[in-house]
Amino acid sequence: MAIRFSQLAVQGHTTTLSIDEWTIDNNDSWGIFSAEGDIGSLLGDLLCGELKPTQGTLDLGELKVAQVSLSEQQRLLERELEKDDTDFLDRIDQGSTVYALIFECCQDAATTERLLEELDLHHLKQSGFRVLSTGETRRVMLARALATQPDLVLLDNPFVGLDVAHRASLATYLHSLSQSVQMLITFSRESDMPEWIDHV
């Protein structure tokens, strides 16, 4: 099932996104280069139903979309802060564990363990969300997105905050994943664009 944008506009915090006509055919992976900071989050929120177009139409059909973006990460952080029990504990509440955050998206222990292994998170499975580094948080967000078994994943600048080793391993992982999951990836640096992307 194709995704179709037609005469669409959506307003973000700092940016307005306008798309005249754009069709993302089934199984095609797209790379989007943008120097604008929140284009990826805008697209992700639009595709996941967090934002509605101010004009035009978006036809997703029955596709299930997940996103890994700054806006999605911010929503999770806000939820975690609301659950902060530091005032009632004799220690700092570090937030939900990595394992719990992934498990809640799939309710399946085997899937959770597989994603922990594939994204090099196993050693962090009992760590709280609020003590993770930027790169670790990005990998947890990707694991959560994949745990929902989406048809399409939007990744907003997936290599930001990752060290050299994790950038390389994530690039390899995404290439492998692209064989089974459709992807829409935004980049602010052209050099980050993988060769296997179908359309730019």
Task: Determine the pLDDT at residue 192.
Answer: 73
Check pLDDT > 60 for residue 66: yes
90 — pLDDT class (breaks 50, 70, 90): low
The residue among 17 and 37 whose pLDDT is bigger is 17
Q: How far is CA 88 from the centre of its chain?
A: 33
Check pLDDT > 60 for residue 19: yes
Mean pLDDT of the chain: 85
Task: Determine the pLDDT at residue 85.
Answer: 62
143 within domain boundaries: yes
Angle between helices 98-106 and 109-118 (to 10 degrees): 130
195 within domain boundaries: no
The residue among 107, 105, 84 whose CA lies nearest residue 96 is 84
Alpha helices in the chain (DSSP H): 39-47, 70-82, 98-106, 109-118, 134-147, 164-177
Task: Determine the pLDDT at residue 200.
Answer: 67
153 within domain boundaries: yes
pLDDT tens for 159-184 read: 877 788 888 888 888 888 888 888 88
Task: Determine the pLDDT at residue 144.
Answer: 95
89 — pLDDT class (breaks 50, 70, 90): low
Check pLDDT > 80 for residue 130: yes
**Which domain range does residue 33 map to?**
3-190
197 within domain boundaries: no
The residue among 199, 181, 188 whose CA lies nearest residue 157 is 188
Write down the residue that tokens 């089934």 correspond to.
26
Measured CA to CA, the distance from residue 93 to residue 87 in angstroms comes to 9
DSSP single-letter state for residue 8? E
21 within domain boundaries: yes
199 within domain boundaries: no
Report the number of distinct structural domains present in the chain.
1
Q: How far is CA 151 from CA 7, 91, 154, 191, in A?
A: 24, 41, 10, 26
Check pLDDT > 60 for residue 87: no
Measured CA to CA, the distance from residue 92 to residue 97 in angstroms comes to 14
CATH number at residue 86: 3.40.50.300
7 token code pair: 């005469």
198 within domain boundaries: no
Check pLDDT > 80 for residue 91: no
196 within domain boundaries: no
Task: Determine the pLDDT at residue 17.
Answer: 84
